[in-house]
A = this chain, B = another copy of it.
Amino acid sequence: MSEPHPTIDADDIGSWSREADVVVVGLGCAGAAATLEAAGHEAEVVALERASGGGGTSANSGGVIYLGGGTAVQRECGFEDSPEEMFKYLMAASGPAPDEEKIRRFSEDSVAHYEWFVRHGVPFKAVFYPHYSGEPPTDDGLVYSGSENAYPFNQIARPAPRGHVPQVPGQAGGLLMQTLLAAVDESPAEVVTDAHCRQLVVDRNDGVVGVVARIDGAEHAIRARGGVVLCAGGFVNNKRMVERHAPELMQCKYRVGTTFDDGSGIRLGMAAGGETIHMNHGSISLPIVPPKSLQRGILVNGQGARFINEDAYFGRIGEHAVYRQDGRAFLVLDAETFERPEVERDIAGVGETVEELEAELGLPQGSLQSTLSLYNRHAEKGEDPMFHKGPDYVVPLSHPPYGALDCTTANSLYAVFTLGGLRTSPDGEVLTPDGDAIAGLYAAGRTTSGIAAPGYASGVSIGDGTFFGRRAGRHAARRR
């Protein structure tokens, strides 16, 4: 089944199969949020889901939600946070040109957004999980999910954990989406599954006025009085798009996404005149932890040089390894610091001496010896003036044998998804290159470029997907 041209003129629609105020395309976390919010504002909503049930990539994710500014969970766990500190962190972490207005709203309204999840039945256990950044194996509700506690961010904003995790052991995305989808079921919104939105209907004067979707083998034109909200995921599983737009990600082995993360939502929006931004960026996780004690090792590149503080968030480490080090990285440990990593990882080399290890890793003669000697000299004093790793993880590596875990993209797990997509206003309106909103067209989630591309922290995708999904749903509902 070939794809038709992604827009169709309203004049060419013979008759509408049905009408609604808001049509939501895709029912992952962003689409569920848009649906709930629009329905909550008395809009008649039709949500189209391409799979046989909602959930999308959100349901297969760790379920971490980036929330802060002083949520109940943060307070009960004894962490002080404020919208201003959250704002400062996200502004510092989110690349050279962060979206200040979006980050401001995301931070200022984060406590209210947390309460929205609670109101819809998402449970959070107010226990902080300290052993890992990212989704905990326990049902604990709060983790560090970015580099808040690592240099340079701990100098810029007061660190606070902001990864909020629904209460279930391990991967929590399933519970999150079950809960949100149950709320959708209870709402007046209509959900149509196995419905593939293939075209946006564009009226010359009124903008986007509906969609054409394939449902049960037939094309249905569905009119949207208020707007269409594209929440159809990213493009990590569209090989051609990745090759064209984010070629660095091709070297990463593990793609986080469903088969429907094929960029269809982005392409629909582009065809209607939407601009894309940050298309080259991805979330790239290189989990050198757990256990966190492995951060006592040093990460070196293909020249045996360090390139980052090893206690930075694994998303930041992955970005640096891929974009700056050509995917070449080894985690060097000694007999005292070695532990079996919980993420399966090959041993790239061992040696009775550093020189032996260096040779086994194929590093230039003297390079690793030089790096380690300098590192150890400072580590004797508990210092890391090169990259400012936190003192808890700074110990000399001087007990043979030495070994290195393989953290190259060629041989180890890098989990990626795309962060580029449609550019939107804080109300979720899809914008043209000239900055105008396209009437009737909204987007949220990974169909858009989120607030942290680059500089991803876990939970930001579900965080901004739901946050700006809600705003889009509300704006479209009011527009009807």
Interface residues of A (CB under 8 A from B): 3, 6, 9, 95-97, 204, 240-241, 243-245, 247-248, 250-251, 263, 266-267, 270-271, 273, 275-280, 303, 305-306, 323-324, 364-367, 370-371, 373-374, 377-378, 385-387, 423, 432-435
Do the beta carbons of B374 and A386 come within 8 Å of each other? no
Do the beta carbons of A250 and B96 come within 8 Å of each other? yes
Do the beta carbons of B204 and A387 come within 8 Å of each other? no
A367 to B385, CA, bound (A): 9
Do the beta carbons of A303 and B386 come within 8 Å of each other? yes
Given contacts A374-B367, A378-B366, contact A9 B204 (CB under 8 A): yes
Do the beta carbons of A247 and B96 come within 8 Å of each other? yes
Query: Least Cβ distance of A245 to chain B in Å?
Result: 6
Do the beta carbons of A387 and B95 come within 8 Å of each other? no
List the 6 shortest-distance A-B pairs measured between CB atoms, nearest first. A97-B247, A364-B385, A96-B247, A324-B324, A267-B433, A370-B374
Task: Find A248's partner among B96, B275, B435 (CB 8 Å cutoff).
Answer: B96
Given contacts A279-B280, A305-B305, 9 further A-B contacts (CB under 8 A): A9-B204, A95-B247, A96-B247, A97-B250, A240-B435, A271-B433, A280-B280, A324-B324, A366-B378
A13 to B96, CA, bound (A): 43
In chain B, what residue has the closest Cβ to A276? B276
Do the beta carbons of B97 and A244 come within 8 Å of each other? yes
Find chain B residues with CB under 8 A from A305 CB.
305-306
Task: Find A323's partner among B270, B323, B364, B365 (CB 8 Å cutoff).
Answer: B323
In chain B, what residue has the closest Cβ to A7? B273
Query: Least Cβ distance of A186 to chain B in Å?
Result: 37
Query: How many copies of this chain does one complex carry?
Result: 2
In chain B, what residue has the closest Cβ to A273? B271
Do the beta carbons of A243 and B364 come within 8 Å of each other? no
Given contacts A244-B97, A247-B97, contact A366 B377 (CB under 8 A): yes
Find chain B residues with CB under 8 A from A377 CB.
366
Find chain B residues with CB under 8 A from A364 CB.
385-386
In chain B, what residue has the closest Cβ to A370? B374
Do the beta carbons of B370 and A385 come within 8 Å of each other? no
Do the beta carbons of A270 and B275 come within 8 Å of each other? yes
Given contacts A244-B423, A324-B323, A386-B303, contact A6 B95 (CB under 8 A): no
Query: Least Cβ distance of A242 to chain B in Å?
Result: 9
A164 to B459, CA, bound (A): 52
A364 to B373, CA, bound (A): 14
In chain B, what residue has the closest Cβ to A248? B96
Find chain B residues with CB under 8 A from A435 CB.
240
Query: Least Cβ distance of A394 to chain B in Å?
Result: 13
Do the beta carbons of A434 and B6 come within 8 Å of each other? yes
Do the beta carbons of A386 and B367 come within 8 Å of each other? yes
A370 to B387, CA, bound (A): 15
A433 to B275, CA, bound (A): 12
Query: Least Cβ distance of A8 to chain B in Å?
Result: 11
A364 to B385, CA, bound (A): 6
Find chain B residues with CB under 8 A from A370 CB.
370-371, 373-374
Residue from A365, A367, A378, A386 whose CB has the most chain B CB atoms within 10 Å: A386
Given contacts A270-B275, A423-B244, contact A251 B433 (CB under 8 A): no
Residue from A6, A365, A377, A434 whose CB has the most chain B CB atoms within 10 Å: A434
A94 to B235, CA, bound (A): 23
Find chain B residues with CB under 8 A from A243 CB.
97
Residue from A263, A271, A433 whose CB has the most chain B CB atoms within 10 Å: A433
A443 to B176, CA, bound (A): 47
Find chain B residues with CB under 8 A from A278 CB.
280
Find chain B residues with CB under 8 A from A367 CB.
374, 385-386
Find chain B residues with CB under 8 A from A279 CB.
277, 279-280
In chain B, what residue has the closest Cβ to A302? B386
Query: Least Cβ distance of A96 to chain B in Å?
Result: 4
Given contacts A270-B433, A423-B244, contact A96 B251 (CB under 8 A): yes
